[in-house]
Amino acid sequence: MSEAIEVNSSPATLNKKELARQKSQAQILDAAETLFASHGYDGASMNAIATEAKVPKANVLYYFKSKDNLYEAVLERILSNWNLGLIDISVDDDPALSLYRYIHLKVRLACEQPQQSRLFATEVIRGAPYLADYIRQNTRPWFRKKVAVLQAWIDAGKITQVDPSHLLFMIWSSTQYYADYQTEILILQNKLEYEESDIEAITRSTAQLILGGLGLKLPESI
Amino acid sequence: MSEAIEVNSSPATLNKKELARQKSQAQILDAAETLFASHGYDGASMNAIATEAKVPKANVLYYFKSKDNLYEAVLERILSNWNLGLIDISVDDDPALSLYRYIHLKVRLACEQPQQSRLFATEVIRGAPYLADYIRQNTRPWFRKKVAVLQAWIDAGKITQVDPSHLLFMIWSSTQYYADYQTEILILQNKLEYEESDIEAITRSTAQLILGGLGLKLPESI
DNA sequence: AAGGGTTTTGACCTTCTGGTCAATAATTTA
DNA sequence: TAAATTATTGACCAGAAGGTCAAAACCCTT
Tens of pLDDT along chain A (222 residues)?
A: 333 333 333 333 456 667 778 888 999 999 999 999 999 999 999 999 999 999 999 999 999 999 999 999 999 999 999 988 778 899 999 999 999 999 999 999 999 999 999 999 999 999 999 999 999 999 999 999 999 999 999 999 999 999 999 999 999 999 999 999 999 999 999 999 999 999 999 999 999 999 999 999 999 866
* Nearest CA-CA distance, residue B18 and chain A, Å: 35
* Nearest CA-CA distance, residue B14 and chain A, Å: 39
Indicate the fold that domain A85-213 takes in CATH: Tetracycline Repressor; domain 2 (1.10.357)
Pick the residue of B115, B187, B211, B216 with the most A CBs within 10 A to test the interface with A by mutation.
B187
Closest nucleotide to A45's CA, by C1' atom?
C17
pLDDT of residue A5: 34
Coarse DSSP helix, strand, coil percentages of chain A, rounded to the nearest 5 percent: 70, 0, 30
Close Cβ partners of A216 (under 8 Å, ≥ 6 residues apart): A95, A96, A99, A159
- Cα separation, A109 vs A179, whole angstroms: 9
pLDDT of residue A24: 87
Inspect the interface and report whether the beta carbons of A172 and B170 lie closer than 8 Å: no
Q: Is the CB of A66 under 7 A from strand C?
A: yes
pLDDT of residue B222: 63
Phi and psi, residue A151, nearest 5°: -65, -40
Inspect the interface and report whether the beta carbons of B124 and A213 lie closer than 8 Å: no
Q: Which candidate from B125, B188, B210 shows the least CB-CB separation from A140?
A: B188
Provide, as residue numbers in chain B, all residues whose Cβ is less than 8 Å from the Cβ of A170.
170, 174, 177, 205-206, 209
pLDDT of residue B7: 28
Smallest CA–CA distance from B159 into chain A, residue:
A209
Inspect the interface and report whether the beta carbons of B211 and A208 lie closer than 8 Å: no
Q: Is the CB of A48 under 7 A from strand C?
A: yes
Which has the closest alpha carbon to B194: B108, B81, B128, B68? B108
Other C-beta atoms lying within 10 Å of the C-beta of residue B57: 15
CATH number, span A16-78? 1.10.10.60
pLDDT of residue A87: 84
pLDDT of residue A48: 98
Are B188 and A143 spatial neighbours (Cβ–Cβ below 8 Å)?
yes
- Cα separation, B65 vs B139, whole angstroms: 28
Q: Which candidate from A43, A178, A201 shows the least CB-CB separation from B41?
A: A43
DSSP state of B138: I
- Cα separation, B222 vs B220, whole angstroms: 6
- Cα separation, A153 vs A48, whole angstroms: 50
The ranges assigned to domains in chain A are: 16-78, 85-213
Closest nucleotide to B65's CA, by C1' atom?
D19
Close Cβ partners of B195 (under 8 Å, ≥ 6 residues apart): none
Q: Show the low-confidence residues of chain B (pLDDT under 70).
A: 1-17, 221-222
Are A114 and A186 spatial neighbours (Cβ–Cβ below 8 Å)?
no
Architecture of B14-78 per CATH? Orthogonal Bundle (1.10)
- Cα separation, B176 vs A173, whole angstroms: 8
